Structure 1
Amino acid sequence: MTKELKTGAVVIIIVIAFIWGFNFLKGHDLLDGEARSFNVEYTKIGGLNKASAVTLNGLKVGKVNDIVFNKTPEKRGHLIVSFNVESDFEFSKKSIVRIYSPNPIAGSSLAIVPNYEGEIAVSGDTLVGEMEESLFTSIGERLDPLQQKIEKVIVRADTLFSGVNKILNDDTIEGVNTSVSNLAGIISDLRTTISTVNTLILDNQQNLKVTLKNTKDITSNLSKVSDSLTMVNINDIVRKAENTVDNFNQLSMKLNSDEGSIGKLVNDDALYNNIEAATKELEELLRDLKLNPKRYVHFSLFGKKAKPFTPNAQQSELIEDLKEEIKELKQ
Structure 2
Amino acid sequence: MGKDDKEETGFGFKDRAKAEDTLRLLEQHDMNYRRLTVTGLLRRAKRVLTMTKAEDKIKNIKEAMEVFENWLADLNKDKTDKDEKRTEKKETKVEKNGDDKESSSDEEMEERPAKRDLPADKVPNLGFKDVDAARNTLKELEGRDPDYQQLAVKGLIGSAKRVLTCTRDETKLSNIKEAISVLEKFLDDFDSLHLSKQNNPYLSLGIVRTAAKLAGDNVTDQQKSFIAAYASVNGEYKRLRTVKAEGSDKTWDIVRNSVLKELKEKHAEAKLFSEKDEPTSEHLQLLLWAYSPEQAKVKKVVSETKEEKNEGESRKRRSSARDEESSKKKKE
Q: Which TM-score band applies after superposition, normalised by the shorter structure?
A: under 0.3
Give 1 or 2: higher helix fraction: 2
Give 1 or 2: higher strand fraction: 1
TM-score normalised according to structure 1 size: 0.20
Which structure: larger Rg? 1
